[in-house]
Amino acid sequence: MPFGPAMTGDLVYLDHNATAPLRPGAAEAMRAALAVVGNPSSVHGHGRRARRWIEDAREAVAALLAVPPAWVVFTGGGSEANGLALSGLGDGPRLCSAVEHDSVLRWVPEDGRLPVDALGVIDLEALGRALAKAPGPGLLSLMWANNETGVVQPVAEAAARARAAGWRVHCDAVQGPGRLSPLDMAALGVDLLSLSAHKLGGPAGVGALIVADGVTLAPLVRGGGQERGRRAGTENLVGIAGFGAAAEAVRAGGAAESARLAALRDRLEAGLRASCPVAAIHGAGAARLPNTTCVGLPDTAPTADIQVMRLDLAGVSVGAGSACSSGKVAPSHVLRAMGLTEAAARRALRFSLGWSSTPADVERVLAAWAALAP
């Protein structure tokens, strides 16, 4: 019998930034991998067959970012990949933006968190000042795109400034694949880059840190010599197989998928504003992911958690802040860093589309919204 309730009925899922539905190709690859017997580190035939699955997936993930397969280090998810990057370069100073994911913020002291403007874009002049007064070279971590607002950061420009000062640069790119195109690590100019399989239609519990040549990392998980000594533990073969298949699907979608998502998002935002003219689109005016809308309502409206529940009762799943922080009483640190009041930050909903989203989904959401909007 199943371990949880089945989801039935005509439901709409617009919370892809929290986790994307499993792609059919990823599910097929995982079913096939379940039949594979053997530890990928064993030298006998069964082990070599298992190893081939791992390496094929590594090649698929590498191709997604136009990097050599040897740069791909499989991890237990995006948060672990971020932790490996932030912890693995020694004890030098750390800088990041104030709107990073919690898995980055936990490694950076308060005085190393750089301000953003009202759109949520990092203050590059503040970055320059921080680099100039730092006691020595360290690591800058800057996300490619924000999980709550979809705002895209000027990673290449920030990385150029940091690298000119002798710093290493890490990019949390978890929200990029399947939404931004092209995906090119060299164009970003970073040394390390994090990915998460379940954000792009693969399974949860597997991710990757892309590590450029010349970067030496101390492992976060120690023990065996797996992943070239950078991440100990027998590899999650089934999850990695699904990750590889999802990466191939994202690569095939390319710019056409980004354009499709942008058209759906624009229709969604136009409909939201038509029903509620006072609604604010947080981050509008900045470069944003084509799939993400963060909408805020006035102080007279219910808080986001109540709005989420009301939409859920109407058969629509959306997000409020970061799913990794669900259950927190505090308002979004991202919106607070952008200058919103605490009350406004508590009244923001996130609609995030993805590979499974359709025009019909958007119309269903707008119908539900029209019935609930103040």
Residues 6+ apart with CB under 8 A from 267: 359, 362
Q: Which residue has the tokens 């010349």?
A: 214
Q: What share of the chain is helix, strand, coil (3-state, %, to 5)?
A: 40, 15, 45
- CB 321, CB 277: distance < 8 Å: no
Closest alpha carbon to 203 in 246, 153, 160, 250: 246
The SS3 call for residue 245 is helix
Q: With contact defined as beta carbons under 8 Å apart, do 369 and 314 qualify? A: no
- CB of 68 within 8 A of CB of 61? no
Q: 343: Cβ–Cβ under 8 A, 6 or more apart, which residues?
A: 299
| CA 252-198-192 angle, 5° bins | 80
Which one is catalytic: 96, 276, 294, 324? 324
Pairing of strands 72-75, 207-211: antiparallel
Q: How many CB atoms lie within 10 A of CB 359?
A: 12
Give the contacts of 362 (CB within 8 A, at least 6 positions apart): 264, 267, 268, 271, 353
Q: 169 near 158, Cβ under 8 Å?
A: yes
| 294 included as an active-site residue | no
Output the six-digit token pair for 99: 């709107």
- Residues with a catalytic annotation lie at 324
